[in-house]
A = this chain, B = another copy of it.
Amino acid sequence: MEPAAVIEPGEIIFKIVIILFAAKVFGELAERIGQPPVLGELLAGVVLGGSLLGLIEQNSALILLAELGVIILLFEIGLESDLEEFLRVGSSALVVALLGIAGPFAAGYAAALAFGLSHTVAIYIGATLTATSVGITARTLTDLGQLRTPEAKIILGAAVIDDVLGLIILAIVVGLVETGVVDAWQIGKITLLAIGFLVGAIAIGIPVAPRVLSITKRLRTRGILTVSAFVFCLGLAYLAHELRLATIVGAFAAGLVLARTEDFAHIQERIRPVADIFVPIFFVMLGVSVDLSVFNPSNPESQTLLTLTGALIAIAITTKLVAGLGVLRRGLNRLVVGVGMIPRGEVGLIFASIGLAKNVITPGEYAAIVAVVIFTTFITPPFLKLSFRGGKRRIPAAE
């Protein structure tokens, strides 16, 4: 009876109600001040967590629901990523993406070493700084009515490349942590495994998935498409997990494969309500894991941590601005591209939460990374608005 004692459904149901209610209230407030709802959900978690109200704690049942949430989130992101467009995006997007990964990784790694952190932790921190948040950027560009500008296309193309490369980097970093060995041979092996998994899943999945779906269409039970898509997503997530990659790498691959089937729109429509319920639980629980006391200024250790956080924020911003210079086409607003790459989001947070769960990074380092994500996300919408305005004045004058 011991496991049953850990989860009392009545109590968990109450906590789910609190989490979803707070997620929507804070998400709405974030939207009203021009910020993405995910920021509100993160802050809702910080407020509900042990540092402030203490209503929600790290609990195995809530962690499971959050894990389902992030798997469904990456499945949705995969469903929304157009593989062909991803292959078609210009050389500018590729250069921006590669610069935007190399810069933050190298600078974050160097800074962490300078703060006396270990090799593994430094690699981890460098990796968390790489991935641009597609969602936040795309949303802000839509709100600004700038989604069809060439700058926006470069930003989104680069962000998608960032996401895919970010997942490969995550797979490598998780693999290094799992095996505990950091050498060129190990890194090479895991890189090949991660790329092999993604390429293999796509190469096998794209011809096979339509046939499996056409079989399910002949079945009569209710909800067969929803359940088939969900089982496929969880199945690849489990396979990735067994290969010592992250579950979300599998979920993303499942999304990419199903995005190419003719049932794509139906699958997306049916997964959406499930995502609506579970994804906010993931972001709120990320906020719950933040221990604000690590930032207590009266503690000397906290002062070091605050300095590290400041340094990482500065690195996160400047390296992506530099990446914006990678735009090859002339006459474009490189500032806009750089600013558009600044927000870190889901992937960075997922990195950090896995690192915390696997005890690679400390609660302090976790809080520092969450602070980087919150800060970079927070400044992007107003900064992007300003840089578009500046750009519009400059470009006509230059031409």
Identify the A interface with B (CB < 8 A): 2-4, 6-7, 9-10, 12-14, 16-17, 20-21, 23-24, 27-28, 31-32, 37, 58-61, 63-64, 67, 71, 219-224, 226-228, 230-231, 234-235, 237-238, 241-242, 247, 270-277, 280, 357
Contact = CB atoms under 8 A, between A and B. Distances in A.
22 contacts: A4-B60, A7-B60, A7-B61, A7-B63, A9-B64, A9-B247, A12-B64, A13-B238, A16-B234, A17-B231, A17-B234, A17-B235, A21-B231, A23-B227, A24-B231, A28-B221, A61-B64, A64-B64, A223-B272, A226-B276, A230-B277, A270-B276
How many copies of this chain are found per oligomer?
A: 2
Given A13-B238, A20-B231, A237-B13, A223 B64 contact: no
B24 A238 contact: no
B9 A63 contact: yes
Where chain A touches its partner, the secondary structure class is: helix
B277 A221 contact: no
A221 B9 contact: no
A7 B280 CA distance: 20
A37 B227 CA distance: 14
B227 A31 contact: no
A13 B233 CA distance: 10
B221 A10 contact: no
Contacts of A2: 6
The 9 closest A-B pairs by CB, nearest first: A223-B276, A3-B60, A270-B273, A7-B60, A10-B241, A9-B67, A226-B276, A27-B221, A226-B273
A64 to B, nearest CB: 5
